[in-house]
A and B are shown apart, each in its own frame.
Chain A
Amino acid sequence: MDIGRRTFIKGAAAAAALAAAGLPAAFPKAALADDGLTWGKAPCRFCGTGCGVLVGVRNGKIVATKGDALAPVNKGLNCVKGYNLSKILYGEDRLTKPLLRQGDKFVPISWDKALDLVAEKIRETLASSGPDAVAMFGSGQWTVHEGYVASKFMKAGIGSNSIDPNARFCMASAVAAFMNTFGSDEPMGNYEDLDLGDTYFLWGANMSECHPILFSRMTANRLKNPKVQIIDLATRFTRTSQEADRYVEFQPQTDLALANGIAHVIVREGLYDEAFLAENVTLKKGKTDIGYGVEDKFSFSDKGEAISFDQYRAFLKDYSPEKVEAISGVPAATVEELAKLYADKNRKVCSYWTMGFNQHTRGTWVNNLVYNLHLLTGKIAKPGEGPFSLTGQPSACGTAREVGTFTHRLPADMVVTNPEHRRKAADIWKVPVEKIPAKPTYHATEMLRALDRGDIRFLWVQCNNPFQAAPNTGRFRAAARKEGRFVVVSDAYPTKSTEVADLILPSAMWVEKEGMFGNAERRTQHWFKQVDPPGEAKEDLWQLIEVARRLGFGKLFEYPGQDLHHALFEEYRRFGLGIGKDLAPYEVYQKERGVIWPYVNGESVKWRYNTEYDPYAKKEKEKGISFYKNKKEHKKAVLWARPYEPAAEVPDGDYPFWLCTGRVLEHWHTGTMTRRVPALHRAVPEALVELHPEDASRLGIRNRDRVLLTSRRGSLELRASVGERGVPGKGSVFVPFFDEHRMINDLTLDAFCPISKQPDYKKCAVKVERIG
């Protein structure tokens, strides 16, 4: 009987799927169909998964989008955000004219006046305070072209390193650890690992809600293969925990101890791969007691010191399963079991993580510690085996990381502190090498602090919303309105950031311009412009170049007789050729559903460092793995001994709860797009505070009661959610940050990882009171 019912469901779903599968064939460039409808390809505008969609345009307006059946990432599927993608362009309050602040009001002005004013303010600032005082707050949602132009604008035009993206808030710790472990940013594997592995450890990643299409792929793997196990390691029970085979809850910040505990058992039991270690791994320890960056102008740089395997073994003595249990709350027996799963020679193990690891005052360390588990067991850079850092923004990888729109970076993993790197950049950019400053200035959080102090006088924000998304936003919102600051915000909609701007520039978004995004699996995806932006809105790239012209360095962006986007990309591509960061020619992206780099001899390298797949590795040795990018470590990966250290702010008598922030499936980031889609707004109209049922009952708080949350920095009223979609651990509360009417970041603490400078949005102390 039950079988009959299930068969029916499957039949019905298959029929529905087939109906939806009547998709048009490949249209690389928008192609005209019979009914005046054209279909073009593009990656989704939201998260770092990079699902492909087809964009249906009629009479200059997008009338539909649908999952692209030919896109390898998603095979025609979308999440509910992606399903509603076209609607983000058509919110009623799109910005269509430049707006200048006059007192408390904004008045429309012409583009000419607006751009002249931007140039004038930059010139004034350069004269009064020097180039470092001119700053650009960029974005992992910038297209590759936009990020490249912005970076060149700042580093080769203005001569300032005061550029940093919001990607600092979401994956800087992943970058820092990729660099100090492998000498090259971004994962070695790709999404096929979701299909090919059999043991999945999720560390601080609510994949089911935040990377829903990828999680659906992992779930499908389990449906096909009974061996597959999904283990969710987290501080909050989520829809991912519900789907997982096993949920292991640890106390906030103690993932450091747990990862070391797993390593302890692997080493104690001799479960490590000795040959792999000898061939491919070198061991180091770094500085300890490294601080939290809560004070202005905090500075830190790590220093590695080589250690022996015996020293590492001695270091791990502090992380016996019993000691780990005392720190983390995870039973010793569980630590043993997890270690044995990691090390089981018959299991293909992958680790996935996102913000739980990266937004962490020891974010670089905890990334290092999960690499350790893969290096110890040799389960890395092979199909279905390896560590994989997921990303939250559509081009955190493609733009922020690969183009290098950080204060310390240049394209293709290069840094401004390295004279050779500066020379290469100056060469390609055709500027004197002295033009590119050798010293990094402000990372994202410090940039906002510098605005407050007055060290930054001119700030241009593009394509993101830091005055809602930054930690401890209250301070920075006030800073923006201080005398003697000039804040320009380029956006498509009014946001919490445009609210504090002096000048608002209306931006084209997504397929209103040509662009490229790079997703978490190193896949770069191109789209053509498919509709005109509304009113006078213009792409961010045009805005930058127009100001460059007015400042006298417009030549940096002149490519006579060539298509601008094409020429910009081909110039940018020169940075990565021949060094394992090879991108494909522009024409290839125009045709393909994205291309994974490195792209060598006309083919994508699916698993970097693996001689079977990567010609660069093959050059190094006949067989096995070569971490060829880590030249200064003799082409070995570094296993770092990193201890457990407590969080920056820990609950106490006055503020007895942990506050963790995050996302829900229905909204993306600060909600400036998804909250303008009526269907998504209807689905999740407001941010709620989730409490553990026992805490709620102790405080007399019932579902949907009004609750006041207070931290040392601010307070906020919210309705309670008890025992619903997410259940934080006892002593913790959780609030998503999408809701501009409930600004949870007024409460968060601007403590960060001293190595990566990425803030910890997952841990600060609050008190919880029932209202009324």
Chain B
Amino acid sequence: MSEKPRHSRLAGAGVALLGAAAAFLSLGGRSGNAFLLRPPGAGEPQRFLSRCLRCGACAKACPYGSIRMDETGLAGGELGTPVILPRQKPCYLCADLPCVKACPSGALDAQLRDAKKARMGTAVILEREECLSLKGLRCEVCYRNCPLIEKAVTVENYLNARTGRHAVYEPVIHKEHCTGCGICEHSCILDRPAIRVGELQPESENLYEG
């Protein structure tokens, strides 16, 4: 038995919205300078690239095959470095972080012990005009599939102006909890996902909260 008083889920939360679109210049192929999703614990790109041995141990350790070695440069990264392409397979945040444990060089930071504290990137609903939930449809697949549901993604209700008698269920991302695992991007039901993982956004660069 437990009871839950209704609470305001948004109270005091720093909400990541409409992050810098520049981070998402490339959509499908992720070529050029676009954001690359690295395994948990990779941290800041320069530091990661300077330490990564391109050995593939993390990819081998990943039980889902989510981590792949960018051997052709197709993903746009440094040749031979590990990347995660969420649309193909996101990071499922294994509790024991086998990829981090397997990394011999510290490129994946062994200080990271809790997968839910990983900060690989931040999800953003980039194509807001395409998002079904924002159109008032009951989709919210990204919300229900988020492994940090109610922390990293919540839904906010407001009246659907068109019908006047339904509520919109808008998924809202809270960047302070978002790991960037990409499960939301993976599971978005649109051919071109409306929600995508991009660069971690420093607090001050949130365009719509300044």
Which A residues contact B (CB, under 8 angstroms)?
A: 1-2, 4-6, 8-10, 12-21, 67, 74-80, 82-84, 195, 209, 212-213, 215-217, 219-221, 223-224, 239, 241-251, 328-331, 334, 664-666, 679-680, 682-684, 702-704, 724-725
Judge whether B122 is part of the interface by a CB distance below 8 angstroms: no
Judge whether B169 is part of the interface by a CB distance below 8 angstroms: yes
A665 touches B15 (CB 8 A): no
B163 touches A665 (CB 8 A): no
Cα-based distance from A204 to B151 in the complex (angstroms): 25
Contacts of A703 in B (CB 8 A): 93, 95, 147
Contacts of B4 in A (CB 8 A): 241, 244, 246-247
B197 → A minimal CB distance (Å): 16
Cα-based distance from A83 to B43 in the complex (angstroms): 38
Contacts of A195 in B (CB 8 A): 165
B14 → A minimal CB distance (Å): 11
Set A13, A84, A239, A725: member contacting B189, Cβ < 8 A: A84
B165 touches A682 (CB 8 A): no
B198 → A minimal CB distance (Å): 19
Q: Which 3 A-B pairs have the closest CB atoms?
A: A212-B138, A329-B1, A75-B163
A sample of 9 inter-chain contacts (CB < 8 A) reads A5-B209, A9-B156, A17-B160, A217-B166, A244-B6, A248-B3, A682-B189, A683-B145, A704-B92
Cα-based distance from A245 to B4 in the complex (angstroms): 8
Which chain B residue lies CB-closest to A218? B167
Cα-based distance from A534 to B157 in the complex (angstroms): 42
Contacts of A330 in B (CB 8 A): 1
Contacts of B160 in A (CB 8 A): 13, 17, 77, 216, 220
A725 touches B149 (CB 8 A): yes
A80 touches B139 (CB 8 A): yes
Which chain A residue lies CB-closest to B92? A704
B150 touches A242 (CB 8 A): yes
B132 touches A220 (CB 8 A): no
Set A16, A220, A684, A704: member contacting B159, Cβ < 8 A: A220
A246-B138 CB under 8 A given contacts A219-B167, A220-B159: no
A14 touches B162 (CB 8 A): yes
A17 touches B2 (CB 8 A): no
Judge whether B113 is part of the interface by a CB distance below 8 angstroms: no
Set A79, A331, A682: member contacting B139, Cβ < 8 A: A79
B138 touches A665 (CB 8 A): yes
Which chain B residue lies CB-closest to A244? B6
Contacts of A80 in B (CB 8 A): 132, 137-139, 141, 189
Contacts of A679 in B (CB 8 A): 189-191
B6 touches A216 (CB 8 A): no
B2 touches A249 (CB 8 A): yes
Set B1, B2, B95, B134: member contacting A13, Cβ < 8 A: B134
Main secondary structure of the interface of B (DSSP, over half): loop
Judge whether B27 is part of the interface by a CB distance below 8 angstroms: no
B3 touches A246 (CB 8 A): yes
Contacts of B47 in A (CB 8 A): none
Which chain B residue lies CB-closest to A11? B161
B141 touches A666 (CB 8 A): yes
Contacts of A18 in B (CB 8 A): 162
Which chain B residue lies CB-closest to A10? B158
Contacts of A83 in B (CB 8 A): 132, 137, 139, 189
Contacts of B135 in A (CB 8 A): 13, 16-17, 20
Which chain A residue lies CB-closest to B131? A16
A13 touches B170 (CB 8 A): yes
Contacts of A2 in B (CB 8 A): 209
B158 touches A223 (CB 8 A): yes
Which chain A residue lies CB-closest to B167? A219
B1 touches A216 (CB 8 A): no
Contacts of B188 in A (CB 8 A): 683
Set A9, A17, A219, A683: member contacting B170, Cβ < 8 A: A9
8 Å CB interface, B168-191 against A: 168-170, 186-191
8 Å CB interface, B68-108 against A: 92-96
A16 touches B138 (CB 8 A): no
A217-B165 CB under 8 A given contacts A8-B208, A212-B138, A682-B186: yes
Set A20, A21, A220: member contacting B166, Cβ < 8 A: A220
B164 → A minimal CB distance (Å): 8
A601 → B minimal CB distance (Å): 28
Known: A12-B128, A13-B170; 13 extra A-B contacts, CB below 8 A, are A4-B208, A5-B209, A18-B162, A77-B138, A77-B166, A80-B139, A209-B144, A217-B165, A243-B157, A244-B6, A250-B1, A684-B187, A703-B147
A12-B129 CB under 8 A given contacts A79-B137, A213-B138, A665-B144: yes
Contacts of A14 in B (CB 8 A): 161-162
Judge whether B17 is part of the interface by a CB distance below 8 angstroms: yes
A223 touches B157 (CB 8 A): yes
Judge whether B136 is part of the interface by a CB distance below 8 angstroms: yes
A725 touches B3 (CB 8 A): no
Judge whether B202 is part of the interface by a CB distance below 8 angstroms: no
Judge whether B28 is part of the interface by a CB distance below 8 angstroms: no
Set B92, B140, B166, B208: member contacting A75, Cβ < 8 A: B166
Which chain B residue lies CB-closest to A67? B137
A683-B189 CB under 8 A given contacts A75-B166, A80-B132: yes
Give B44-72 as 1s and 0s: 1 = Cβ < 8 Å from A's Cβ atoms: 00000000000000000000000000000
Judge whether B5 is part of the interface by a CB distance below 8 angstroms: yes
Set B157, B189, B208: member contacting A5, Cβ < 8 A: B208
Contacts of A328 in B (CB 8 A): 1
Contacts of B2 in A (CB 8 A): 247, 249
Cα-based distance from A209 to B140 in the complex (angstroms): 10
B137 touches A724 (CB 8 A): no
Cα-based distance from A241 to B167 in the complex (angstroms): 17
B141 touches A216 (CB 8 A): no
Which chain B residue lies CB-closest to A9? B170
A216 touches B166 (CB 8 A): yes
Cα-based distance from A644 to B157 in the complex (angstroms): 38
B157 touches A77 (CB 8 A): no
Contacts of A680 in B (CB 8 A): 189
A620 → B minimal CB distance (Å): 33
Which chain A residue lies CB-closest to B6? A245
Contacts of B15 in A (CB 8 A): 5
Cα-based distance from A329 to B2 in the complex (angstroms): 9
Set B141, B168, B209: member contacting A683, Cβ < 8 A: B141
Contacts of A683 in B (CB 8 A): 141, 145, 187-189
A77 touches B139 (CB 8 A): no
Cα-based distance from A78 to B209 in the complex (angstroms): 32
Contacts of A12 in B (CB 8 A): 128-129, 134
Cα-based distance from A702 to B63 in the complex (angstroms): 15
Set A77, A220, A329: member contacting B137, Cβ < 8 A: A77
B163 touches A77 (CB 8 A): yes
8 Å CB interface, B20-59 against A: none
Which chain A residue lies CB-closest to B141? A683
A704 touches B94 (CB 8 A): yes
B128 touches A16 (CB 8 A): yes
Cα-based distance from A12 to B161 in the complex (angstroms): 11
A702 touches B189 (CB 8 A): no
A219-B209 CB under 8 A given contacts A5-B15, A78-B138, A80-B141: no
Find the residue from A84, A216, A250, A664 having the highest chain B CB count within 10 A. Answer: A216
A720 → B minimal CB distance (Å): 10
Cα-based distance from A415 to B191 in the complex (angstroms): 51
Which chain A residue lies CB-closest to B172? A9
A725 touches B136 (CB 8 A): no
